[in-house]
Structure 1
Amino acid sequence: MPSTRLLLVRHGETDWAKGRRHTGRTDIGLNATGEAQARDLPGRLPLDGVVAIWCSPLARSRDTAARAGLAVDVIDPDLIEWDYGFAEGRTTAQIRDERPGWTVWDDEITGGESLEQVGARADSVIVRARSVEGTVALVGHAHHLRVLAARWLGLAPGGGRHLTLDPAGWGALGWERETPVIERWNPPGPPI
């Protein structure tokens, strides 16, 4: 049976996330709620067996890791959030005023990354993580981690549309014999 497991940890809340704005490469910090969510993570995360902690280079992820007491081993540029191009800083509702029915999962991201490019970065992380024996914690961003979970399962990158991940939410990916599975996904935490 394979020995690598992944613990996916989304950063805490930001003002843009609270406002449902696409927050890709803009380096937005945590708001007060996000800071509290990050401080609450140590009691919620299954950290037994974690042998490595990799983190997105963006401040909201690095700050979440630090406040959660996670000693980051690697700042991994492949864990950065989707480059939303024209959608950066905008809500889906605002974009749909111009492009009815638009969705990040199905439509062109003018000036940004395609879904396939995000999937390729996720694949790169998975390949490197599978060379590690034990659990690798990945601290990053909602859409990217959702794509990564889909790719872990062998699904197309768009399979991430079926998974939600709250601010400071987490998921555990592992195995049932030789089949990659989601062991736990976005469990509720205490209200903040």
Structure 2
Amino acid sequence: MTAEPDPAEPTELWLVRHGATEWSSAGRHTSVTDLPLLPDGEETAVALGSRLAGVDFRLVLTSPRRRARHTAELAGFSDAEVTDDLVEWGYGDYEGLTTLQIRESVPGWTIWSHPSPNGETGADVAARLDRVVARVRATGGRALAFAHGHSLRVLAARWLGLPPEDGRLLRLDTATLSVLGYERETPVVLRWNA
């Protein structure tokens, strides 16, 4: 556990999941496929901008994927720093498939409990996101990250000191805002999936 660097300016990590894409709307696992936002995904990204306006962020990060970067731009953060650490969980051979399609050959499959052939493990994803957590805590103040459903769920679990698979407990919809922070010295979820 890491104590807040400055109680007068709390350390918080604000998370934005990108707006809707064709595949996210259809429940298809999307990692490396670089899809654009749908028109309604663009509208919700613009609306997020009004919710983020006036908040002072010391650090603004984004995944390099077009859907995350465009969400950041539409929300008013075109200068967000691109980092590969925020890319979505690598689904490997399951890229583009739905959970139901995968379960036809692997009953009971979830990203949290089963491997993805030629994809990342939960430990792989956690290692990347631990670097984000460390950087935010070292910087102090408020940070903002634009990324993806599974990666942000793992990021929240790691913020809380939990194993990556506990991200399964945190549903996260597209174009939502979540905030991680502290209650005294304990890392907590301040707001989720709003």
User: Normalising by structure 2, what TM-score?
Assistant: 0.93
Gaps of 5+ in 2: 5-9
CA distance in 2, matches of 1:73, 1:139: 9
**Residue 58 of structure 2 corresponds to residue 77 of structure 1:** no
**4+ residue runs of structure 1 moved beyond 3 angstroms?**
none
**Where does 1:34-183 land on structure 2 (aligned, <5 Å)?**
34-45=41-52, 48-183=55-190
Determine helix, strand or coil for the equivalent of 2:52.
coil
The Cα shift of 1:44 comes to: 2.7
Indicate conservation of the 8 Å contact 1:38/1:65, yes or no.
Answer: yes
Unaligned runs of 5+ in 1: 188-192
- CA RMSD between the two structures: 1.2
- Structure 2 letter corresponding to 1:152: W
Shift of 1:71: 3.6
Q: Give the number of equivalent residue pairs.
A: 187
Say if 1:66 and 1:46 are closer, same or farther in 2 by CA, change over 3 A: closer
Query: Per-residue deviation at 1:86?
Result: 1.1
Q: Distance in 2 between matches of 1:47 and 1:8?
A: 16
- 1:113-133, Cα deviation, whole Å (9 max, x unpaired): 001100111101111111112
Structure 1 position 47, deviation (Å) = 5.2
Amino acid across the alignment from 2:66: A
* TM-score, normalization by structure 1: 0.94
Query: Does residue 28 of the first structure (1) align with residue 35 of the second (2)?
Result: yes
